[in-house]
Chains A and B, each alone.
Chain A
Amino acid sequence: MLIKLAFRNIFRHFTRTFLTFLAIALGLALLIIMDSMLTGIDQESFDKIINYETGHIKIFDRGYREDEENLPLDRSIEKPGSIIKELQKDQNVAGVTARINFRIMLSDGVDQFPAVGIAIDPKDDQTVFLMKQSIDKGAFFDGDEEAMLLGEGLAEDFGVDVGDYLTILTRTKYDTYQALDLRIKGILRTEDPKIDWSAAVIPLGLGQESLDMGTGVTEIDIKLKDPAKTKEFRDTLAKEITGVEVATWKDLAEDVIAIAQAKRGGSAFLLFSVFLIALIGISNTILLAAFERVREIGMMAAMGMRRRQIIRLFVFEGAMIGMMGSIAGCLLGILINIPFVKYGLNWGFMMRDVGDFGYRITGASRGVWNPTMIIVAFVFGIVISALTSIYPARVASRMEPTEALRKT
């Protein structure tokens, strides 16, 4: 019975109800979107690492990481074939590929710049990495050919384009001088500075031959179907294969993770503030509305409603508005988040100082789905609305009916 009354009341004071409802809906929607954005930004840098540098899991030779700065070729995985075959059969694995990383100097005959050489497998590199999709000009490898892909920044530094030649100077596994004059087949724009500004990419077969690696590689990279299982997978794999080291991308990206952790603190503070505004907005509206209804309350008391019933009535009203607001707010938040997550928000028309550089970055930041946040927001909306309705109801219902009736 009370519920029916509550229901009627809500629609009677439509404008008031609507304003409250709006406050809740907007507040919650904002909460959801902001959380999505803030988390998304972090995810962005993680994604770069996963999609261009490490995959979810990396396998190295046991001594490799110690000397990693030097990109040593003599600490390699000699026979990756069997490992890769086994992994390809695994249900959890979305893609496997092997790479060789090696130190090089790039030369155009006049200048020499230090850079990193990456030999990738043209067949299955794209099952793990996004190298193939990041070709800005030119084309990807067709199989094992004598050509290279060059990061955009390096191409700019040398003033070269697709079709030009550059020399890769390096040493083989046995420290013999090696020099490869290669045609630039494609220019890479990955927005990962480690690639765009420091990498020259060649096919794995060419790499293995030129560097005298035989069948060896310096790393095997794995992409998992379910990223949540990464740690688990690493542990299982480490037990199955000997003589190698298995690492997750988190193990390898300490720097970036530290920064993200730090940022999380700041983000938490921001979200807390949003909660605060939403709280104030919602409670305020409810309080204002409720205090206006003192006469109403007086009448109800005069008609014989008990205090407890009055309070309960208001709480129901509050909860109902809260529920409507929460539903609307969460729906709104989800709806706005969809394009966010799918396409991201393009923040950049970030031209650097044109003249010297003219290098453009389109920074798109994607949103993330955080169901926990959505649920929390939903509950928050209802609870706050209900709770704040209690106070004015208690105050007003304590008054003498006559007093209440007299108020305006």
Chain B
Amino acid sequence: MFKIALRNILRNKRRTALTGLSIAAAVMIAVYIWSFISGVMDNMFDNSIRLTSGHVRILNSDYVKREKMLPLEANIQNFEAVENIAKANPNVTFTVGRIKFGVLLDYKDNNKPVLGTGIVPESESRISHLDQKMVKGRMIRSGQEEMNIGVNLARDLGLKLGDTLTVVTQTAYGSITAMNLKIAGMFSFGVPSIDKTTFYIPLDKAQELLDLEGAVTEIFILVKDMNKAPEVSREIGASLDKLYGGEYTTRSWQDQGILFIYMNLAKRVYGGIYFLILFLASFTILNTMFMSVLERTKEIGTMKSLGMKNRQVMGIILLEALLIGIIASFVGATWGAGIAYYLATEGLDFSAIFDAMKGTINLPISYVYRALFSWGIIFFGFCMGIFFSVLAAIPPALRAAQMEPTEALREI
């Protein structure tokens, strides 16, 4: 039977080719579109996660509710010990401590509220990729009294690279404190609200400035699978409770505020869009297959008049569909993979759009969309192609197989 199916396929090359092409194209598009959407989605979340909440955060329980006020006295003491508890969890890939503090900077005759963050410069590249966002100068170094400042903020304050800014604020215990910080570099994340209101200093200097020796305001954690963050958050929370009672709390990125709700919303919307595309793609396969089998009614009639039984005829047709489906899906999946790979590495560069808008918005970085390269996605596309090819072949195959040979022969 296999041989007959194969011969049939090869007999009418054009038809086979067209059918195959159609299937391959549909699979290809299904693969790279989902790669693209996933990539863009992940990117969107990722950015925000890296800049603010991490996958999981450990905070002082008193800090949680009053976070907007950045209460320094609700801190994590001996933070390295606490950090180690998080590190012990097998799902955790990275941890680092941070201090966030509010400052009033002198600006014209008024004061500008600004956010300062004490970071470990060497680790920061793994989190926010700050090192890649530097527009001028270089990243700060531990132990140095220097800062990295957002470009817009520097501009508003009239500061240049190398200038010294005196930051005055209150320590965790109510004393006035200040530090002269040299601007070692300026950064831009491309998000105006961040570039206008934040600066970074080394963690050890923040601890010194704010009387927080050995302490931090939050421990920032990245995990292997960000979708499992709530679980990991609970696990770490339980370990912390054993040692510290309820003093420290964990939070996963999913419950970090309204922003994430909206992002989840976006994910669903794009999921819906993908579903529609998938629908169209599968319909194309169905359509093509259907028509393909339909066209062969005469052939089928011939086979039947040669004495083949209904079941056999159907079997052959389905086998043909399977063969074409497998090959075409394979080809399509490969093409799709190729495009996905290109999109994942090079990405789609839309910075031209921003150049056009440069007048109004200062975005010195390029806006590149990257896809997610995933074997899972590719395999799914492959299977989908085969599935629909065979599925589509069934109804016409059934119909044709049951026709009287003479009827079949009569159709043109």
Contacts and interface: CB of A to CB of B under 8 A. Distances in A.
A337 B357 CA distance: 32
A281 interface: yes
B175 interface: no
A291 interface: yes
A405 B218 CA distance: 81
Contacts of A266: 36, 40, 348, 350, 369
Interface in B261-308: 261-262, 264-266, 268-269, 272-273, 276-277, 279-281, 283-284, 287-288, 290-292, 294-295, 298-299
B1 interface: no
A356 B255 contact: yes
B412 A157 contact: no
Interface stretch (B15-23, B75-83, B121-129): B15-23
Contacts of A277: 25-26, 29, 277, 280-281, 284
Contacts of B25: 276-277, 280
A101 interface: no
Contact of A23 (B32, B193, B277, B284): B284
B3 interface: no
Contacts of A262: 350, 353-354, 367
A372 to B, nearest CB: 19
A15 to B, nearest CB: 6
Nearest to B298: A408
B266 to A, nearest CB: 7
Nearest to B290: A19
Contacts of B66: 111, 113
A278 B15 CA distance: 19
B192 interface: yes
Interface in A137-162: 153, 157
A224 B33 CA distance: 39
B68 interface: yes
Interface in A253-306: 254-255, 258, 261-262, 264-266, 269-270, 273-274, 276-278, 280-281, 284-285, 287-289, 291-293, 295-296
Interface in B336-367: 348, 350, 353-354, 357, 360-361, 363, 367
Contact of B113 (A69, A193, A288, A345): A69
Interface string A16-40: 1001001100110010011001100
Contacts of A113: 66, 68-69
B369 A265 contact: yes
A289 B15 CA distance: 10
Q: Which one of B15, B269, B290, B348 has the highest number of Cβ atoms from chain A below 10 Å of its Cβ?
A: B269
A285 B291 contact: yes
Nearest to B261: A361
B50 to A, nearest CB: 17
A365 B269 contact: yes
A281 B360 contact: no
Given A262-B353, A265-B348, A408-B298, A270 B273 contact: yes
Interface string A167-193: 000000000000000000000000001
A254 B98 CA distance: 30
B280 A281 contact: yes
A329 to B, nearest CB: 12
B14 interface: yes
Nearest to A289: B291
B334 interface: no
Contacts of A281: 22, 26, 280, 283-284, 287-288
A86 interface: no
A264 B353 contact: yes
Contacts of A215: none
Nearest to A45: B262
Contacts of B269: 37, 41, 347, 365
Main SS at interface, chain B:
helix
A170 to B, nearest CB: 16
Contact of A291 (B18, B258, B266): B18
A84 B259 CA distance: 36
A351 to B, nearest CB: 10
Interface residues of B, number: 66
A353 B256 CA distance: 10
Given A113-B68, A266-B369, A274 B277 contact: yes
Given A37-B273, A280-B22, A280-B25, A111 B65 contact: yes
Nearest to A258: B361
B110 interface: yes
In this complex, the interface size class of chain A, counting residues with CB under 8 Å from chain B, is: 35 or more
B171 interface: no
A353 B18 contact: no
A345 B280 contact: no
Nearest to A355: B255
Contact of A288 (B191, B292, B298): B292
Nearest to B14: A291
Contact of A348 (B15, B268, B298, B361): B268
Interface string A39-63: 0010000000000000000000000
A197 interface: yes
Interface string B214-236: 00000000000000001000000
Nearest to A264: B353
A402 interface: no
Contacts of A375: none
Given A70-B110, A350-B265, A291 B15 contact: yes
A33 B276 contact: yes
Contacts of A289: 291, 295
B320 to A, nearest CB: 15
A33 B277 CA distance: 11
A287 B254 contact: no
Nearest to B37: A270
A67 interface: yes
B412 A41 contact: no
Contact of A255 (B69, B192, B254, B280): B192
B405 to A, nearest CB: 15
A114 interface: yes
B106 to A, nearest CB: 13
Contacts of B22: 280-281, 284
Contacts of B276: 30, 33-34
Contact of B268 (A254, A255, A276, A347): A347
17 contacts: A19-B290, A19-B291, A34-B276, A37-B273, A67-B110, A113-B66, A193-B259, A262-B353, A262-B367, A269-B36, A270-B37, A277-B25, A277-B280, A281-B287, A284-B287, A284-B288, A352-B261
Given A114-B68, A361-B258, 20 more contacts: A19-B294, A23-B283, A30-B279, A69-B112, A111-B65, A113-B66, A197-B258, A273-B277, A274-B280, A277-B26, A280-B21, A284-B288, A287-B18, A288-B288, A289-B291, A348-B268, A352-B254, A363-B261, A363-B262, A363-B265
Interface of B: 14-15, 18-19, 21-22, 25-26, 29, 32-33, 36-37, 40, 65-66, 68-69, 110, 112-113, 191-193, 230, 252, 254-255, 258-259, 261-262, 264-266, 268-269, 272-273, 276-277, 279-281, 283-284, 287-288, 290-292, 294-295, 298-299, 348, 350, 353-354, 357, 360-361, 363, 367, 369, 412
Lowest 3 CB-CB distances: which A-B pairs, in order? A265-B350, A281-B284, A363-B265
